[in-house]
Chains A and B, each alone.
With several copies, the nearest count.
Chain A
Amino acid sequence: MIDALESWLRTAATRVHVEAASLTALDQAIGDGDHGTNLDRGFGAIVAMLDAQGPVDPSQPPAAAAADLLRRAGRTLISTVGGAAGPLYGTAFVRGAGALANGATASPAEAFVVALEAACGGIAGLGKATAGEKTMLDALLPAAAAARTALDAGGDSAAVTAAAASAASAGMEATIPMLATKGRASYLGERSIGHQDPGATSAALLLGVLADVARR
């Protein structure tokens, strides 16, 4: 599990770096043109943190080790990303880590669903946003719901993360016609309609990478 988590973070960092310019371009349209740069800086810091860390303590139970790693990744985002996305993604990771730590006995698939739900709760609580406000939540909430359904249907972690990923990218596309009522895009009022939300896009990207990793 810890290996899957680490390879998710490393692969995500690579993908974020590749997509940084296009994420920033989306943010130029309805924001201030820094979302890709911000996340690229944060995930670069996570990779540096991973490279610096010593070997995992074998005595530590796997769920605790994974929770610990995810928490440190969240803290790194909070300390390096800035803007709105830093606290939001950082808190999401930290809350997800908390869920992992509690659900020590859960299957990988169930642990993921619980962590994703906790992450959504963290973002919604901090950002005071709900579904339909043209934010990252519009990718993440449908993803969590789809993952839960797949889990209830007996799906393994590959199936559950795949369900989450496709729901996230559908949710991402669904932000295009939305009127933004949170974040910078809300300043544009009607002019925010017709543009895809950068945060929803990065959220779908992160879940897409997770599904790829889980499929291996």
Chain B
Amino acid sequence: MATNAPSRMKKLINQVESIVPESLAGLAAAHPEVVKIDAANNVVLRAGGPRRGKVALVSGGGSGHEPLHGGFVGLGMLDAACAGNVFTSPVPDQMEAATRAVDGGAGVLHIVKNYTGDVLNFQMAADLVAGDIEVASVVTNDDVAVQDSLYTAGRRGVGGTVLVEKIAGAHGEAGGSLADVTATAVKVNARARSMGLALTSCIVPAAGTPTFELGDDEVEVGIGIHGEPGRRREKLAPVDDLAEWLVEPIVSDLGLTRGDSVLAFVNGMGGSPLIELYVAFNSVAKILAGRGISISRSLVGSYITSLEMAGFSVTLLKLDDDLVRWWDAPVHTAALRWGV
């Protein structure tokens, strides 16, 4: 049987325990003009920070989603990112250290993906700085694969988080107040929806085995970004069909109609090469064109990943003029850069 994969964990690492700190050290070594590392806390800090009078944006979460979040620290985006162990949310001490390090006196916005662990740890960190620093929190929950009901922990924060960080970051860079920047983050989250699927599972280094097994002709539909199984399993199909499975629920959940203008984000899960992501983007573009929805901005690449998982997710953001202006504003981070 022709297989193109190791039957045991094969990664570019030294030891499982040192992956996160070594990856952060590599990030800082490659981009010294953009970031510096608080090695004691596994926190990525914007170089030259904190900025007096500027609202600071802090995010974080488990590692394994690179470039999220550390690759988005820099001008026009985040001021700090807390890196937890792989797929494990960071601890309050990290968020506290990050929050204190970036505070410029104008308050700090915590951008939190909606997972129980992330929410609880960020909440504890906010309690730890209460009184000293004004903290606001935005919880992203853009994943339409999960019903937002009493029967779940609520929708997950996935691809939309990247757009929240870019757009709220631009507003923060422009001098917006904590209330304004928070409102922009809430607005982006409210207008963004995502859904993803996997062609393979991924191997959490400390576990050493794939999180789930998938048949040779199966795809896992409705996955999150932690290698967790999705909502259902389907037979492998042409990417035009796969894209339809993702775009349709997003479009109906957002209530997009003819004439609407969107930012279309086709995200790779980490192991899918760019040639395939552009084929997938072409499918998404055809589907949206067929529905009379125009793509006025786009992003294609692996920006919020699940380690080496093969697959992709689609995020659509319903645009308006403000959002376009903030999206186009200069950004200089390790993973996203333009206008500077």
Show the binding face of A for B, using Cβ within 8 Å: 24-25, 28, 30-34, 37-38, 41, 78-88, 126-127, 179, 181-184, 186-189, 191
Contacts and interface: CB of A to CB of B under 8 A. Distances in A.
Contacts of A41: 85
Nearest to B151: A181
B153 A182 contact: yes
A181 B151 CA distance: 5
Contacts of B152: 181, 186-187, 189
Q: 6 tightest CB-CB pairs across the interface, nearest first? A: A32-B226, A87-B120, A83-B117, A84-B117, A84-B116, A186-B152
A34 B92 contact: no
Contacts of B296: none
Contact of B87 (A34, A78, A81): A34
A184 B207 contact: no
Main secondary structure of the interface of A (DSSP, over half): helix
Contacts of B211: 28, 32-33
B93 A31 contact: no
Interface string B75-116: 000000000111111111100000000000000000000011
Main secondary structure of the interface of B (DSSP, over half): loop
B24 to A, nearest CB: 16
A179 B147 CA distance: 14
Contacts, number: 118
Given A81-B91, A187-B153, A33 B227 contact: yes
B156 interface: yes
A184 B115 contact: yes
B231 interface: yes
Given A33-B207, A181-B151, A181-B152, A86 B91 contact: yes
Interface in B158-202: none
Residue with the highest number of chain A CB atoms closer than 10 Å, among B85, B89, B91: B91
A143 B85 CA distance: 31
A34 B93 CA distance: 20
Nearest to B150: A181
Contacts of A33: 87, 204, 207, 211, 227
Contact of B124 (A87, A184, A188): A87
Interface string B191-226: 000000000000010110101100000000000101
A108 B39 CA distance: 43
Contacts of B204: 28, 32-34, 37
B331 interface: no
A79 B228 CA distance: 25
A191 B229 contact: yes
B261 interface: no
B146 interface: yes
A79 B90 CA distance: 9
Contacts of A85: 117
Contact of A24 (B90, B117, B121, B206): B206
Contacts of B212: 28
B85 to A, nearest CB: 6
B87 A79 contact: no
Interface in B116-155: 116-117, 120-121, 123-124, 145-147, 150-153
A183 B93 CA distance: 22
A84 B119 CA distance: 9
Contacts of A25: 207
Given A31-B228, A32-B227, A81-B91, A37 B120 contact: no
